[in-house]
Structure 1
Amino acid sequence: MSSTHLPDPVGSAATPAAAEVAYRYTKSLILDDRLPGGTMISEGEIAGQLSLSRTPVREAFLRLEAQGWLRLYPKRGALVVPVGPGEAQSVVDARLLLEIHAIQSIVDPLSRERLAERLSALVQRQREALDAGNLDAYAEHDVEFHLAVVAAGENPLLTSFYVTLRERQRRMVARSLWRDEHHALAFIDDHQRLADLVAAGATEQFEEGLRRHLHDAHLPERAAAVGGVR
């Protein structure tokens, strides 16, 4: 096994074991749509790109298969599992349930105020990232915004589940509308409105605004079909 030091594709401070490197690297290719659904890949390809032996790559592939990202075919390689019909809708529905539940769980006005301040700070970071043309940072702050909402519900199990949902959505929106500046600005405005609704304790309005926001961002065809929101 090669001991070549590789940059961590997902930004960990420590250098993981070879199988972990292979796992994170391959998964990042899938989530960023650099390996689209339906693509066949081999252990040798990934091993060659990372200067590793096939053994850790095989371990990584088995782990990715268990998580539903790959389907392995002996002596043929691995198929990147395509996004299933209706998966985008299912992910959005699940996210709505988790984020709305979290907001409904906050009964202390001081906790709402702190969350609103945190969300507004993330909105400002998004604006700065977009102004700088840094779409990767913009996307990271988008993730942080919605994760902060769920984490405010103080349910670690639901927060952990939410992270897996975001991974699936990351894959589906790798070429999303937010890469268009007009839409990106509109989504930032959505976030600020949501932050303001949190501060006001307007739970019902938050639910309505969040539903429209997620449909616009991730189900644009459906949003258009029901008349849009802006």
Structure 2
Amino acid sequence: MSPAPAPAHTAPAKQPPAAERVYAHVKDAVLDRRYEGGMLLTEGELAEAVGVSRTPVREALLRLEVEGLIKLYPKKGALVLPVSAQEIADVVETRLLVEKHAAAKAVPATEALLGELAELLETMREQAAAGDLAAVSVTDRAFHAAIVRSTGNQILDRLYEQLRDRQLRMGVAVMHAHPDRIAKNIAEHAEILQALRAGDPDAATEAVHRHVSWVRNLAQGEVR
């Protein structure tokens, strides 16, 4: 009688490289404001927090400096850069150019797009009710990205993707500073969706303009 085959062993899930783990840890913490602008991070603290040596920490911090989230100071650490008023103005200007064009081009909207936006809107409501502001910011951004993606213009889509981190960071900052604004923010998304459902490109672009301009007005009052 042949021996029974040895039981199969499931290989443990492979962890991402150490530098990638540090990068993700710091970036996520900066975007959801666990690491605030002006905070100084040291290599030792980050190595301990992630459970790695200092070498991958340095590699990750160099990458984050290139992305404009931190500024490295030799023998001191990494300073989390605050969001400036100029950065807010630049992001809003770019968003208006891209998103108003995308909203107009999305008309007539497909049932697939309308269904996706309706689902994202409902998810946003649930996240807001749970008080998860970071999640609301991610879903908020996904709502707008879906409209941009619907244009079928891959260059425009890639341009918009480059704004992602700044959008998330500003979105969380605004919601923390103005928690009463969250319900209004969700209502404005509903207005954009309604305009797309109605097949009205002018109403859609106007709704986008009102919504995105509010981000600038609110953020500039609080984030420097």
Taking structure 1 as the reference length, the TM-score comes to: 0.79
Point out the more displaced range, 112-121 or 58-67: 112-121
CA contact (8 A) 2:121 2:190 kept: yes
Change (3 A) 1:155 1:56: same
> Displacement of 1:185 after TM fit?
1.8
Point out the more displaced range, 32-41 or 202-211: 32-41
Residue equivalent to 1:193:
191
CA contact (8 A) 1:115 1:152 kept: yes
Residue equivalent to 1:161:
159
Amino acid aligned to 1:173: G
> Displacement of 1:63 after TM fit?
0.6
Distance in 1 between the 2:176 and 2:117 partners? 18
> Displacement of 1:168 after TM fit?
0.8
Whether 1:39 aligns to 2:33 is: no
Residue equivalent to 2:78:
78
Whether 1:25 aligns to 2:25 is: yes
Amino acid aligned to 1:162: Y
Instruction: Pick from 93, 116, 119 the counterpart of residue 117 of structure 2.
Output: 119
Map 1:57-136 to 2 at 5 A.
57-106=57-106, 109=108, 111-136=109-134
Compute the RMSD of aligned alpha carbons.
2.5
Larger Rg belongs to: 2
Instruction: Pick from 148, 151, 160 the counterpart of residue 149 of structure 2.
Output: 151
Change (3 A) 1:120 1:165: same
Distance in 1 between the 2:139 and 2:23 partners? 24
Q: Identify the structure with bigger relative contact order (alpha carbons < 8 Å, sequence gap 6+).
A: 2
Amino acid aligned to 1:98: V
5+ residue gaps, structure 2, are 1-12
Distance in 2 between the 1:222 and 1:41 partners? 26
> Displacement of 1:136 after TM fit?
4.1
Amino acid aligned to 2:193: A
Amino acid aligned to 2:196: V
Structure 2 SS opposite 1:175: helix
Structure 1 SS opposite 2:172: coil
Residue equivalent to 2:218:
220
CA deviations 1:60-115 (Å, max 9, x no partner) are 011111111222222222222222232112111111111122233346x3x44432
Residue equivalent to 2:205:
207
5+ residue gaps, structure 1, are 1-12, 224-230
Distance in 2 between the 1:202 and 1:86 partners? 33
> Displacement of 1:132 after TM fit?
4.0
Residue equivalent to 1:184:
182
> Displacement of 1:181 after TM fit?
5.7
Distance in 1 between the 2:110 and 2:85 partners? 37
Amino acid aligned to 1:20: E
Structure 2 SS opposite 1:27: helix
Distance in 2 between the 1:14 and 1:185 partners? 41
Distance in 2 between the 1:27 and 1:21 partners? 10
Amino acid aligned to 2:19: A
Taking structure 2 as the reference length, the TM-score comes to: 0.81
